[in-house]
Structure 1
Amino acid sequence: MDAASSLKFMDRGERLMRRGTARAFIGAGMVVMALALGACGGGGGGGGFAFPFPTGGGAGTQPAPGGSDGGGGGTGTAPVPKGTVTLDVQSGTGASTGSLTAVEIGRVSAVVKDAAGAPVRGAVVRFTETGGSLLNLPAAAGTALTDDGGRASAELRAALPTGLGATVITATTSVGGTSVSAQKAVTITAAPAASGLSPQQAVTTIVLLDVNPPDRLIASKGVAVDGRSDTATLRFRLMDRNNTPVKGALLNFSVDSADVTLNVSGGTSGDDGVVTTSVSAGTKAAAAVVKAALDGSSLAVQADPLTVTADAARLARVDAAAAVLNLNARAGGSRSTVTVAMADANGNPLPDGVPVTFTADFLAVGGASRGNCVISGGRCSVDLVVQAPSPADERFIRVVASSRLGTGAVISKAAQFSYNDPMQLGLYAGPTTADGRSLSELTISAAQCNAAQAFVLYAGTPAAFPAPAGTTVAVRPPDANLATVLDSPSVIADMADVPRTRTRLDLRLTPTGRACQVGYVQVLEARFTTLAPDGFTYTVPINVRTVP
């Protein structure tokens, strides 16, 4: 090779080396960039990049774009969970399982909780099969409502005795407007061979399937409670050693309380292995346990106690109270809350749902949507509202609360309200109507000048009713020559006594200066101001005359 050719070759080799170095630098930069993007989560959210990478066996590639859900990547805020649902499958005995035989009857259940972990009541849960068609989940059984514990369940069985394999159950519901779900795989296995035993001999397990009502609380006989029956129904299932329902086996029932009647003493299991019984409450509050025993065997199971609510047939304790008993006749629309409490002869509060009726001979009791009320927590309330018609001559207003007993009798309690006009208020010498007309003049002694002189007065109406409850009293002298002090409370208290009486006021007058002159007369004002929002004020003038 001549010198010129050698130079050209070297120039070309140098150029190639420089170009290779540049490519290597760019490739290295791209690797660093890719690593940096991966470290800071730049590939999250599904919009990633793909770069060639040298590997031990040749060129490899990163995962294709869009293959990730961005879990944890980037600087975005993770969604706040609205709730959870937990799914489980139980065998015929109630044990958690992942498989059922082709003839076994199990249950699928879901527990729904909110974001704070509290059970969600009243949520609709839908159970569906997503892995095939091996299960029997018709629409009627495929949905269920959650109870107080957030649990919903449905019966579960294979669609066909010959349908074997694996499938997936999905539970879906909504919490806070957001759909949540859970899944569990279930295997359907072959049914075991027949044992050759008689139905009675084949039974190895008795399972309490359900109780209606689920809270095991029933009303005493004859109690008119909305949605609360005086009868409970219990279902038991008989199964063999393979958790397969047993048909044709006899089950006997008993109850341990004389105050609860057993309606069905025994029965033979059907195709699903189920035997049903029911009990009815008597008129007394009681607790009762129902026991199911396999005929001719020691095999038995008992349900949790049923509770019979209060003995409404012997309702003996009724109390009626009111927020205000002495009403202001000039405060249209003002109200007093009337509360009634009811218990049986044993002191047990009546069950929730017992209706109570209220009547009043004047004014308005209750409202357009609730003239009556329903017992909750042993009591219920309505309002008595000031409006026409109103009683004349300061008669009592009588409000009666009543309820019907299990025997058909009606028991009631009355409360009496006074309806007082502030413009009829006056000061009297005594508390009753026997004390005559209202006072128009008081006398003070000049011989006791500069000394306090005491007076006992009574504030009320001509019919001896007190002022409306909460009325404030103020006594104002005409000038500085007569000091006045009201020793009694300045607010008229509500009064429940029957008959009502006027309210006592203890007044001290101390004359000085001109007020000590015999024959001097001045006008003292007694002011009565009723409760807000009306705040009606009425002034009663009284002459104060100085005598020797």
Structure 2
Amino acid sequence: MRFLQIVGAGVCALLITACGGGGGNPGSSGGNGSQPAGTLNLQVVSGVAGTQTFSITASEKTAKAKIVLKDKGGAPVKNTIVTFSETGGGLLKFSPDSKTALTNTNGEAEIDIEPVSTTSIGATSVSATAQVSSEAVTGVQNLAVTSAVVIGVNPQLVASALNFISVDPSDKSIVIAGSGGNGRSESAILRFRVVDKDGNPVKDVLVDFAAVPTTAVTLNVPSAKSNADGIVATSVSSKSTPTAVIIRATVNSRDIVSQSDQLTVTTGVAVPRGFDLSASKFNLNNDISGDNSIIRIGIIDANGNPVSDGVPVIATVDFGRVGTSGRGGCTTVNGLCTVEYQVQNPRPTDGQAVNVTVSTQVGNGVQISDTIRLSSTSVGNVDFYDATGAAVSTIALTASDLDPKCKATLRGQIGTPAGMPAPVGTNVELKSSSDIVVSSVTSGNPTLDSRSLTRTPVTLQFELKDAVVSGRATIDFKFTAGTTVGSNVKTITFPACTPV
């Protein structure tokens, strides 16, 4: 235990005006050479060993102000009330609240003192006053209250509670090991604060940490000491498995425990099987510059979770344009992003697909890529082909093709000579040169958008009206896509037919 010792004579040497200008005697009420009524020695005892000290810490809980009172002959003065006080700073509190104690047979009296809070830091004075032979005898000592934990004071005993403060990243989520990057952290820092019974921070308290479950993450800092603000921190790093984890903090050798909010470990690196491309439109109009399709890119990790935000994706194309001038691709948000493809020069010729290739790089240096194929065709190249895909110049109806109502159904294909589809939304209209033949499209009109870059199946119907004799006519196949129109004329021959 350490002692802060204050002797009346020493005080008068420091406080000359309080002792009659230096000519008075310590421990007396006046000067002019008169003998003091007695002496009052004041000590501050700190810690178990009673070590004398001239400073205590702001977290001190074991300090006592102790006096020894003697008369002028050196004999102990018993059963005398001693009044203790602080004469500066307002940094201390006394117990009991009366700030008084009664001397025992040895002339001793003591009182507990402690800082008002752990932030009560600075200089102050402790004084004690007693009446000896009707005269006041006083001892005064300057005292420092510091934030440092001094030898002999165990900060572990000062700690009263442990509070979870924060986690960084603030969204309480880290990514699977190996999938970190810009905006994606594989580690987290968790902070706790050690406080005393009044809620004030305590420095140099040893805190132990543990992960629950223990194998969920790598615990980088198993134990640490609190700083001057009572803050103690640990960090964890993710492993290869998505999970949820809680970090427990325990004041070493004390039954004081706290825990963090739940921290999630998720969203690993992209995997090839989780790389998905789709388009808002597959068959574009080669005659319209700016005709567009939105390419959706979806990326997940091996566990089926969307990859972290900010994964860069690059898009390239062999015909037309893709992306923007600021970015040739996109960056993911919730595992998704989009790029826009537009028709422009260079354009594909008939039979050439538009290949939009999308790729991203994963942490191990492996590139993941996929290609989505679009078509860009001109209405001027669109024509009608039979069910086998052969070109048709003449449609020959026979009696066996007609039903009792003189109607015939013909299945075929709409597309280009090289087997590509018509632009999506192409409208097919049939116009006969004869009132005898009524023709129409019963399915495949307008042309459907298909991911398969092939001609579109179509079903045509022909009905003969008053075909008393066989004959021939022409059928104009009109193809319209937006403002673009294409046309092909076919000859149709038919037998005589009377509806039943």
Taking the aligned partners of 2:329 and 2:180, their CA distance within structure 1 comes to 14
Question: SS of 2:372's equivalent?
Answer: strand
Q: How many Å separate the matches in 2 of 1:281 and 1:252?
A: 20
Question: Which residue in 2 is equivalent to 1:539?
Answer: 487
CA distance in 2: counterparts of 1:509 and 1:392, whole angstroms: 34
Counterparts in 2 of 1:444 and 1:479: CA distance versus 1, 3 Å: same
Aligned length: 358
Q: 1:222, 1:466 → 2: CA distance?
A: 44
Distance 1:302 1:369 in 2: 45
Aligned match of 1:236: 192
Question: Contact between 1:103 and 1:244, CA under 8 Å: does it hold in 2?
Answer: no
Question: What's the secondary structure of 2:234's corresponding residue?
Answer: strand
Aligned residues of 1:363 and 1:386 also touching (Cα < 8 A)? yes
Contact kept in structure 1, 2:434 and 2:474, CA below 8 Å: no
Deviation string, structure 1 residues 340-374 (Cα, Å, up to 9, x no partner): 11222222122222222222222111111232212
User: Are positions 1:478 and 2:419 aligned together?
Assistant: no
- 1:523 is the counterpart of 2:471: no
Contact kept in structure 2, 1:398 and 1:417, CA below 8 Å = yes
RMSD: 3.0
Letter in 1 for 2:189: T
> Which of residues 388, 393, 402 is equivalent to 1:440?
393
Contact 1:465 1:502 in 2 (8 A): yes
Q: Note the 1:450-489 alignment, pairs <5 A.
A: 451-489=406-444
Contact 1:427 1:457 in 2 (8 A): yes
Q: Secondary structure at the match of 2:395?
A: strand
- Other-structure match for 1:509: 462
Q: Which runs of 5+ in 1 are unaligned?
A: 1-101, 105-156, 165-189
Structure 2 Cα separation of the partners of residues 163 and 358 of structure 1: 69
1:216 Cα shift?
A: 0.7
Please report how far the alpha carbon of residue 492 of structure 1 lies from its aligned counterpart in structure 2 after TM superposition: 0.7
Q: Which residue of 2 aligns with 1:318?
A: 275
Contact 1:394 1:419 in 2 (8 A): no
Tell me the TM-score normalized by structure 2. Answer: 0.65
Distance of aligned partners of 1:482 and 1:392 in 2 relative to their CA distance in 1, 3 Å threshold: closer
Q: Which has the higher helix share?
A: 1
Query: Residue in 1 aligned with 2:156?
Result: 200
Q: Which has the higher strand share?
A: 2
Give the unaligned 5+ runs of structure 2: 1-56, 60-116, 125-144
| Partner SS state of residue 344, structure 1 | coil
Look up the SS of the partner of 1:509 in the other structure: strand
- Paired residue secondary structure (2:341): strand
Quick one: which of 215, 221, 232 aligns to 2:171? 215
- Per-residue CA deviations over 1:397-456 (Å, capped at 9, x if unaligned) read 11122222233322222211112121111111235xxx44x2111123479697112222
Verify the 8 A CA contact 1:364 1:384 in the aligned structure 2.
Answer: yes
C-alpha spacing 1:454/1:244, structure 2 compared with 1 (3 Å): closer
Distance 1:538 1:162 in 2: 94
**Aligned pairs for 1:101-500 within 5 A:** 161=121, 197-223=153-179, 225-257=181-213, 258-312=215-269, 316-430=273-387, 435-436=389-390, 438-445=391-398, 451-497=406-452, 500=453
Report the CA distance shift for 1:160/1:536 in structure 2 as closer, same or farther (over 3 A).
Answer: farther
Give, in whole Å, the separation in 2 of the partners of 1:207 and 1:265: 17
Task: Give the Cα separation in 2 of the matches to 1:451 and 1:467.
Answer: 31
Contact in 1 for aligned 2:350/2:417 (Cα 8 Å): no
- Find the counterpart in structure 1 of residue 127 from structure 2: none
Q: Which amino acid aligns with 2:164?
A: L
Distance 1:267 1:158 in 2: 20
Quote the Cα distance in structure 1 between the aligned partners of 2:248 and 2:307.
28
CA distance in structure 2 between the partners assigned to 1:502 and 1:252 by the alignment: 70
Q: Which amino acid aligns with 2:178?
A: G
> Percent of aligned pairs with the same residue?
30
* Per-residue Cα deviation, 1:431-484 (whole angstroms, up to 9, x for no partner): 5xxx44x21111234796971122222111111111111111111112322111
The letter of the residue matching 1:365 is V
347-356 vs 457-466, which moves further: 347-356
- TM-score normalised by the chain length of structure 1: 0.60
Partners of 1:492 and 1:395 lie apart in 2 by: 19
Q: Output the CA distance in 2 between the equivalents of 1:527 and 1:313.
A: 48
Q: Distance in 2 between matches of 1:450 and 1:248?
A: 101
- Decide whether the 8 Å contact of 1:217 with 1:306 is kept in 2: yes
Equivalent residues of 2:322, 2:341 under 8 A apart: yes
Deviation of 1:213 (Å): 1.5
- The 1:261–1:315 alpha-carbon spacing in structure 2 relative to 1, beyond 3 Å, is farther
